[in-house]
Amino acid sequence: MESGFGSDFGSDFGAGGGGGGKLDPGLIMEQVKVQIAVANAQELLQRMTDKCFRKCIGKPGGALDNSEQKCIAMCMDRYMDSWNTVSRAYNSRLQRERANM
Amino acid sequence: ARRRRGATREGRGGTGSAGRGMDAPSAAGLGGADPQLQRFIEVETQKQRFQQLVHQMTELCWEKCMDKPGPKLDSRAETCFVNCVERFIDTSQFILNRLEQTQKSKSAFSESLSD
């Protein structure tokens, strides 16, 4: 999600086109996949933090107390469960749509 | 219900990609002449659209389906999430279909005026 993603993308493809053979497209693809995975993990973490802060932290105190920490831990797991449930449900729906066309 | 190719419109209809992830409008510009790279971009773009929508729906459905996070996701919450996904997609399709209908009736109207 950082600007580095966009600029690396452009320069690698620009140089790697036909003749040189210096830039391995396989390597580029692997690097891009890694960057995408990192971006997705960041996105997940950002939304999880937002949701769990809202659920678990009432009036912000001087530190996170034990109950808040327990809540955050459970919340993280439930958020992951939810994400996986949504992913499966969406995938099923897409497959059903394709089967109906 | 009418079914069309790409009816779920996972990439459009308010996904709010807003520059996150991969939004390559055309694979041909990037990747240049290399068909392998082009294919790669198409596949990854599609995957990323899917991921973005999962993020978005998880966020929305969490608000609707989750009260207090417990030790596990109970079956009621799980059902709620599944329903939520289905209804979100239904909503998206409904909006696109109705928009298409209102556009059609509008253009028919203005065409008859200009005669």
Which whole number is the average pLDDT over B16-36? 57
**What is the C-alpha separation between A65 and A57, in angstroms, rounded?**
10
Contacts of B49 (CB under 8 A, 6+ apart): B10, B11, B15, B17, B21
What does the pLDDT read at residue A11?
47
Residue A72 lies in a domain: yes
B81-87 mean pLDDT: 98
pLDDT at residue number B106: 80
Please tell me if residue A101 touches chain B, with a CB cutoff of 8 Å. Answer: yes
Structural domain count, chain A: 1
Is some CB atom of chain A closer than 8 A to the CB atom of B11? no
Cα–Cα distance measured from residue A64 to residue A46, given in angstroms and rounded to the nearest whole number: 19
In a domain, A12, yes or no: no
Q: Which of B36, B71, B78 sits opposite A25 (nearest CB)?
A: B36
Is the pLDDT higher at B2 or at B68? B68
Q: What is the pLDDT of residue A10?
A: 45
In a domain, A21, yes or no: no
The matching CATH number, chosen from 1.10.287.810, 3.90.1300.10, 2.60.40.1120, 3.40.830.10, for B35-113 is 1.10.287.810
As given in the structure block, the two tokens for residue A8 are 């690396």
| Token pair belonging to B115 | 């005669």
Mean pLDDT, residues A26-53 taken together: 95
d(CA A38, CA A57): 27
Q: Which residues of B touch A10 (CB under 8 A)?
A: 30
Residues within 8 A of A (CB atoms), B 54-83 only: 54-55, 57-59, 61-62, 65-66, 68-73, 77-78, 81-82
Domain assignments of chain B as residue spans, ordered by start: 35-113
ipTM of the complex: 0.76
Which are the contacts of B71, defined by CB distance < 8 A and separation ≥ 6?
A: A74
**Residue A33 with chain B: CB contacts under 8 Å:** 44
* Domain membership flag for residue A96: yes
Q: Is residue A12 scored above 60 in pLDDT?
A: no
Confidence of residue A77 (pLDDT cuts 50, 70, 90): very high
Structural domain for A30, as ranges: 26-58+65-100
